Amino acid sequence: MSTHVQTPWKLSRVVITSERFKNQPLDVTSLVSNLTLFENIERPYLTGNIFILDDSGLFDGSGLYDIRGTETISVTIEGNDKSFNIMEERKFKITSIKSEAKGNDRSAVLVFNLVDEYYFNNYLKRFSKSLKGTPGKIIQNIVEGEQLLNTSFYGWSGDATQSKMKVIIPYLTPLGAIEWIRDRSTTSNGSPYFTYSNLYNQGVYWRSLDDMIGGGYSINNDPYAGYFPFTNSTALVNDANERWFPEPEDQIIEEVEFTDRHNLLKLIRTGAVGSEISNLDVNKNIPDRSIYSSKIHTDTLSTNGIIPIENNKSKQNIIDDISLVDGLPIHYYQSRYFAQLSLDKVYGKYNSYYDDADRVKLRHRVESMALKNMLQTNAISCRMNVGLLFSAQSGVGDVASFVFNSNNSSNDQSSGDEIIDREKSGDYLLYSISYNFTRNQKPICNVKAVKLANNYNQ
Amino acid sequence: MKIIRTLQREFYGDSTRWFVATVVNATPHYGYEGRVKIRIHGVHSNKVSDIPEADLPWASIVIPTTEEGVSGLGKNPKLTAGSIVFGFFLDGESSQLPVVLGSLPREDYPTETQLTNLFTNDFETPIGTPISSTLTSETEKRRRKRSESMKFFIDSGYTVNQAAGIVGNLDYESRFITTGSGIAKWNDTRKNNLVSFSQKFVSAPELSENFQIQLKYVLYELRTNKTIANGKLLKATTIEGANGSAETIRKFYINNSSKTASDDILSWCILAKQEIA
């Protein structure tokens, strides 16, 4: 019945190199027993660890290959039938020996911590420099130019709404500077930008939440035409667990856990429900203040087509805009008061990091922070069939439609009219992914995803 | 999942960062009155290629409460290029919005560039000229180098008399001219070692002719290859006499044993001592 080859992943090449090895690279491909790699939408680099079985004394200090924590390890992972590469040759740095366990006198298992090579080098390149441009251009310049990160820049989806500015990087690392600029960047809807990386391309992605949401479901080449189901059919689970690539009857989400959801108090404490921001231009003595309300913000996002609308109301399930506290909805209250100062003309004709042309842009600063925190209250942890992600080359920053059936026991599945859990089903942003490759086994993929919208319309 | 904080502290006053900076432009153009352009130590790179002067911030200046400070009323600050100022950032760690609180009075010293430029001008007196005939025509540049040398060796742990013995000999031998065989009239072997030594500080070999590097090299030699000279020098309590600092340096460091410390050399040593007095 399966039309796909059910062979496991293949670690096609793992080579350790170092100037200390005197141009003699060490090929450890056959010695790797396990490889774990982590993607996170808040981190523009990959981290991971690798298990190496040393049964010939390679790393016991007697030979050429002593590990000091600066070695480069190049990893290439092929797909199951070589029709695609999961990860082209990617260079990591070994940052430390996480552990070393000796089973007997003749062998040991070493676990090396890995980080992207450019992340390692980034810590050696702390810099102070003046940079000019829009936020996106400045980040692109740090990533690709200036001899700082020397990696690739991906995911250009339009620049931030903040205008051209001049900043002086105050001795930050390149990645620290990127995050600093990113935190200043919003769309015209007040949505935040993310910087991240994934398995498929070594480099930095820079993409707005609007673009992620507006793009909707973004994983193609799957047998479900857009929906990742989770069912409780144990008969299917067993077969599916054996399969490298999912079949139409498989459940793609294999396990799921909902934890720490709808923590409205946390949102209130961060100011994500309602808050006020003020700015005083000290030179002009012109105060600006702006009130942030999550209700108005989500309604605006609906009006602008970013999140769905239903019965003339924004279709969201994060903020309770009905319940009252002392007679007023909670979004009428300002739980945080952000006060900042600015100075006019510090950088001549250029705006500084803080200059906001109007109160709307001033409010965007709170809105972007609030949206990021809101996402986290709708998070799930799940284990997914990884084949689909690999074939579609999808990772963090992409959106998938997750479908969960209702717990209603009266649900008659035999009729085909399954009752959908509309509260949990919808479009999810893949927030962090842990890929675990164990030799001769199907890769395991643990995903944290955050719900963006109730887009399940069946 | 962690709480995301893209905004800095809730109240700007909770994030304070102070700084010391050098004023690079104190003559603001129209519309920027009452400001100075500053390069902040530890925040702004000293390399003009990284941060050109045009990109540096125009910092606001706090003025006394006895001045109005509104609509052009009140006195203007009187800072000048080269002033050292103290201040704080309105935005804390982001360090984009500097405000100057006051200035730190200081003594001016020649810059590295100015010292290097000294070598392009000939001195008026020939090497070895008796001091009695040169005092009135001595250049200010030579005096400054003598003064700087004395401070350098005293800061390195020598007494005033010991430092004067070193500096007087260097002055007599070379007038502190760094080109050719250098301030200590080194032979070829020692000069080659100086080039290697200078590369520890800078990659450009020509900077072995830098005055400060040559001073450091004298100190390096005394502490490594010339330990006999250094040991005897550390026992010297006076400039004059057979065991004095002038004779010790001439005999054991300069290696000029053909003559004793003449009155002229002693005079240069005493003159060096007077720089500190």
CATH of the domain at B116: 1.10.530
Compute the C-alpha angle A352/A190/A167, nearest 5°: 15
Q: What is the ipTM of this complex?
A: 0.84
Indicate whether B23 belongs to any domain.
yes
In terms of CA atoms, which chain B residue is nearest residue A343?
Answer: B97
The Cα B20–Cα B88 span in angstroms is 8
Tell whether A360 is within 8 A of chain B (Cβ): no
Same domain, B55 and B119: no
Residues B117 and B224 in one domain: yes
Residue B188 lies in a domain: yes
Which residue, of B69, B85, B104, is where some domain finishes? Answer: B104
Strand boundaries in B7-57, DSSP class E = 17-25, 35-40
Amino acid residing at A290: S
Judge if B86 and B137 occupy the same domain: no
B172 and B263 assigned to the same domain: yes
Structural domain boundaries enclosing B194:
112-274
Does one domain contain both B144 and B261?
yes
**Least confident interval from A189-193, B119-123, B199-203, B211-215:** B119-123
Q: What is the CATH number of the domain that holds B77?
A: 2.40.50.260
Residue B64 inside a domain? The answer is: yes
- Rounded distance, CA B86 to CA B18, Å? 8
Whether residue B4 lies inside any domain: the answer is: no
Last residue of a domain, one of B104, B134, B169: B104
Of B56, B59, B90, Cβ closest to residue A341: B90
Which pTM does this prediction carry? 0.73
Residue B30 lies in a domain: yes
B93 with B116, same domain? Answer: no
Say whether A413 sits in a helix, a strand or coil: helix
- Who among A128, A180, A354 is closest to B44 (CB)? A128
> Averaged over B83-97, what is the pLDDT?
93
Task: Judge whether A381 and A283 are in contact, CB under 8 Å.
Answer: no
For residue B246, the Cα-to-chain-centroid distance in whole angstroms is 25
Task: Give Dmax over CA atoms of chain B in angstroms.
Answer: 82
Q: Do A183 and B6 touch (CB under 8 A)?
A: yes
Chain B contact for A127 (CB, 8 A cutoff): yes
Which residue out of A125, A129, A167, A168 would a mutagenesis test of the B interface target, given it has the greatest number of B Cβ atoms within 10 Å?
A168
The count of other CB atoms within 10 Å of the CB of residue A238 is 9
Task: Output the six-digit token pair for A118.
Answer: 């450019």
**Exposure string (b/e) for A18-54, b if CB count within 10 Å is 16 or more?**
beeeeeeebebeebbebbbbbbbbbbbbbbbbbbbbb
Q: Verify that B119 and B172 share a domain, yes or no.
A: yes
- For residue B3, tell me if it sits in a domain: no
Asked if residue B269 and residue B139 are part of one domain, the reply reads yes
Q: Specify whether the CB–CB gap between A131 and A166 falls below 8 A.
A: yes
Please tell me which residue of chain A has the smallest CA distance to B91: A341
Min Cα distance B42 → chain A (Å) is: 8
Question: Which residues have a Cβ under 8 Å from the Cβ of B149 and sit 6 or more positions away?
Answer: B163, B166, B167, B170, B171, B176, B215, B272
Burial of A349-376, coded b for 16+ CB within 10 Å and e otherwise, reads ebbbbbbbeeeebbbbbbbbbbbbbbbb
Residues B51 and B131 in one domain: no
Q: Are residues B218 and B243 in the same domain?
A: yes
pLDDT tens digits, chain A, 458 residues: what are they?
Answer: 334 445 456 788 999 999 888 888 999 999 999 999 999 999 999 999 999 998 888 887 777 788 888 899 999 988 766 566 788 899 999 999 888 888 777 788 999 999 999 999 999 999 999 999 999 999 999 999 877 888 999 866 788 888 889 999 999 999 999 999 999 899 998 999 999 999 988 999 999 998 887 765 555 444 444 555 554 443 334 444 555 555 655 556 778 888 777 888 989 999 999 999 999 988 888 888 899 999 889 888 888 877 777 766 666 777 888 889 999 999 999 999 999 888 888 998 888 888 776 788 889 989 999 999 888 887 889 888 777 777 777 889 888 778 777 776 555 555 555 577 777 777 788 999 999 988 877 788 899 998 876 654 43
- Rounded to whole angstroms, how far apart are CA atoms A135 and A161? 9
* In chain B, residues 44-83 whose CB comes closer than 8 Å to chain A: 44-45, 50-52, 54-60
| Alpha-carbon distances of A316 from A235, A335, A364, B88, rounded to whole Å | 35, 21, 19, 44
Residues B74 and B121 in one domain: no
Cα separation, A140 vs A144, whole angstroms:
6
Strand partners, A380: A258, A449
Q: Which residues of B touch A129 (CB under 8 A)?
A: 45, 50-51
Which residues 381-440 of A have a C-beta within 8 angstroms of B? 431
CB contacts of B52 in chain A (<8 Å) are 130
Domain end call among B87, B104, B121: B104
Whether residue B10 and residue A337 make contact (CB cut-off 8 A), yes or no, is yes
Chain B residue with minimal CA distance to A379? B1
Could you tell me if B28 and B47 lie in one domain? yes
Let me know if residue B201 belongs to a domain: yes
